[in-house]
Amino acid sequence: MYPSVLAVFPRDHYLLEITFSNGESGILDMKPYLDFGIFNRLKDCQSFEKVSVAFDTIEWESGADLDPEFVYEKCQKNWSNTILKFL
């Protein structure tokens, strides 16, 4: 079982700072997914910033959401050491 998302904070450049229930945190780069289906709506920065925790994962007001396993697997852990590579 994967840890739940406890907190999510939108950052510049379509990055999400995520905290998990197991104490880990990391950065999820959403840029590679913005050309697919409903995620295309998130190219608008105001829409992207309207992200929140829902149940054990994240969702946006636009109706887009992500599987919690995907979020955990794709999240770059120890983000303080890796955030500069995204910028």
Please count the residues of the chain.
87
The tens digit of pLDDT for each residue in 11-55 reads 999 999 999 999 999 999 999 999 999 999 999 999 999 999 999
Q: The tokens 């925790």 sit on which residue?
A: 53
Neighbouring C-beta atoms of residue 31, cutoff 10 Å: 12
- DSSP symbol at 4: P
- Side chain identity at residue 78, one-letter code: N
According to the CATH classification, is domain 5-86 in 3.30.2020.10? yes
Task: Please state the domain extents for the chain.
Answer: 5-86
pTM for the full predicted model: 0.86
Residue keyed to tokens 């887009």: 64
